[in-house]
């Protein structure tokens, strides 16, 4: 590949990872990209690097427009390895380049590389770097999503380099959102945005709202958002900001996700009358069997739905392991604005449904108790109880949904 111009004298020089399917445990069925950018100005400036496996690719892309030895500045917006782990290879070409980074970024980088041979400038919000005709202003975004994170803004180009924020895990020949929707679809792109937000940014809704408000208060004027994953937003950058605000404010579909696992199909059997009860209340329903579904997809389906029913058999007096894993993962993502319930089967002693409700309480999620349980095999009477619980839960979800 070669560099792709995104603004006058500003180029994408990143790498496309068609093959990655497991991104630190997050399933990426469409691969991803590691975007970084080069400002070809009086002082040539590289914004971010790429994952180490792709060092040669970004260096080739840089070489398609300039000699990497001419790079004067390297801006590091975030030190997670997918963006910084080729910095040593880059610095081999331009050892005298100045690295612009936050204080926490520098401290983190010190733990990954021998940084003693490199030059650093520690930056804070409002600091800027003149590259010639362009001025790169820095905007710290701590915990969006690491303590070191920041964005860079180029006023003269009306360009926000947003790092992980507004990204998507999409490996595509298209570099821009409008190109992507022409050859694929708006819904594929929207789905990729929700998937990324649910699995990476769900815990940070309040921070996102505050940061967007800060950007608006600073009056930053931009017509393009260039994230470090996926396509660049040039068609309608305000739309993705609004999508983020909606999600941060708790937007979800009037829908119930039934997330379950099963041993001998009793808990699985319960999903059918539950689904029927939910649908008879006019509420959509999505059923996810955990052992058949990657975790990140189950998380996304949870996030898209206003309500969630967890189905778990009791195994050795506690929840089924895959269900416990899902709920532990979910707790780390600190979900909000969702209502929950639980159901499941047991043999000689229950415990799993109670465990699930305790997990909901630990997460601070509203829940609808006491759920429904059956011993061994669901009988016709149990089917009726499941159906009625599904209806009652759907009514609760509808009521809860009116708050948003």
Residues with a catalytic annotation lie at 24, 78, 80, 82, 145, 164, 196, 229
* C-beta closer to ligand FEO: residue 140 or 164: 164
Q: How far apart are CA 49 and CA 63, in angstroms?
A: 14
Q: CB-based contacts of 65: which residues, under 8 Å, 6+ apart?
A: 2, 3, 11, 13, 38, 40
Residue 83 as a binder of ligand FEO (CB under 6 A): the answer is: yes
**Would you state the structure tokens that stand for residue 244, as one six-digit string?**
């983020």
Residue 80 as a binder of ligand FEO (CB under 6 A): the answer is: yes
Residue 382 as a binder of ligand FEO (CB under 6 A): the answer is: no
Q: CB-based contacts of 334: which residues, under 8 Å, 6+ apart?
A: 202, 203, 363
Q: How far apart are CA 305 and CA 118, in angstroms?
A: 48
The HSE-up count of residue 353 (CA atoms within 13 Å, CB side) is: 21
* C-beta closer to ligand FEO: residue 108 or 277: 108
Binding mask 205-244 for ligand FEO (x = CB under 6 A): -----------------------xx---------------
Residue 51 as a binder of ligand FEO (CB under 6 A): the answer is: no
Largest CA distance in the chain: 78
* C-beta closer to ligand FEO: residue 22 or 67: 22
Residue 53 as a binder of ligand FEO (CB under 6 A): the answer is: no
Q: How far apart are CA 93 and CA 70, in angstroms?
A: 8
CA distances in angstroms from 179 to 115, 185, 223, 237, listed in the order given: 39, 10, 16, 14
In the window 188-207, what residues touch ligand FEO (CB under 6 A)?
A: none
User: Residue 75 forms beta bridges with which residues?
Assistant: 47, 100
User: How near is the Cβ of 22 to ligand FEO at its closest, in Å?
Assistant: 14
Binding mask 138-167 for ligand FEO (x = CB under 6 A): -------xx-----------------x---
- Which of these ranges, 78-86, 101-109, 276-284, 362-370, lies near ligand FEO under the rule CB under 6 A? 78-86
Residue for token digits 């990729």?
Answer: 192
Q: How many CB atoms lie within 10 A of CB 364?
A: 10
User: From the centroid of its chain, how far is CA 138?
Assistant: 22
- Which of these ranges, 74-82, 126-134, 175-183, 263-271, lies near ligand FEO under the rule CB under 6 A? 74-82
Residue 325 as a binder of ligand FEO (CB under 6 A): the answer is: no
Residue 177 as a binder of ligand FEO (CB under 6 A): the answer is: no
Using CB under 6 A as the criterion, which residues of the chain lie in contact with ligand FEO when the complex forms? 78, 80, 82-83, 145-146, 164, 228-229
């Amino acid at each position: 590949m070669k560099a792709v111009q995104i603004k006058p004298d500003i180029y994408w020089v990143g790498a496309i990872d068609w093959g990655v399917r497991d991104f630190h445990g997050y399933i990426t069925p469409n691969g991803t990209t590691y975007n970084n950018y080069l400002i070809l100005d009086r002082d040539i400036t590289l914004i971010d690097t790429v994952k180490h496996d792709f060092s040669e690719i970004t260096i080739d892309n840089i070489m398609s427009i300039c000699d990497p030895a001419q790079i004067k500045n390297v801006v590091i917006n975030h030190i997670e390895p997918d963006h910084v782990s080729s910095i040593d290879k880059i610095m081999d070409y331009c050892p005298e380049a100045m690295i612009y980074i936050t204080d926490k970024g520098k401290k983190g980088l010190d733990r990954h590389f021998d940084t003693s041979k490199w030059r650093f400038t520690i930056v804070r919000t409002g600091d800027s770097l003149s590259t010639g005709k362009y001025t790169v202003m820095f905007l710290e975004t701590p915990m969006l999503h690491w303590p070191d994170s920041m964005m860079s803004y180029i006023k003269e180009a009306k360009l926000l380099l947003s790092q992980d924020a507004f990204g998507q895990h999409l490996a595509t020949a298209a570099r821009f959102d409008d190109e992507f929707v022409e050859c694929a679809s708006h819904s594929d792109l929207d789905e990729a945005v929700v998937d990324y937000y649910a699995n990476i940014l769900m815990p940070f809704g309040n921070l996102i709202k505050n940061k967007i408000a800060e950007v608006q208060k600073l009056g930053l004027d931009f017509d393009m958002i260039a994230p470090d994953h996926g396509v660049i937003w040039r068609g309608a950058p305000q739309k993705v900001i609004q999508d983020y605000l909606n999600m941060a404010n708790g937007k979800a579909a009037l829908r119930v996700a039934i997330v379950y696992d099963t041993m001998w199909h009793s808990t699985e059997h319960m999903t059918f009358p539950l689904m029927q009860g939910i649908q008879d209340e006019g509420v959509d329903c999505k059923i996810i069997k955990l052992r058949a579904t990657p975790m990140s997809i189950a998380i996304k389906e949870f996030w898209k739905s206003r309500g969630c029913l967890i189905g778990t058999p009791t195994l050795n007096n506690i929840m089924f392991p895959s269900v416990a894993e899902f709920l532990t993962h979910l707790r780390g993502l600190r979900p909000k604005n969702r209502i929950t319930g639980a159901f499941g089967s047991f043999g000689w002693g229950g415990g799993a449904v109670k465990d699930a409700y305790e997990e909901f309480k630990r997460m601070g999620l509203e829940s609808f108790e006491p759920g429904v349980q059956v011993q061994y095999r669901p009988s016709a009477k149990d089917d009726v109880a499941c159906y009625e619980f599904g209806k009652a839960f759907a009514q609760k979800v509808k009521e809860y949904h009116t708050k948003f």
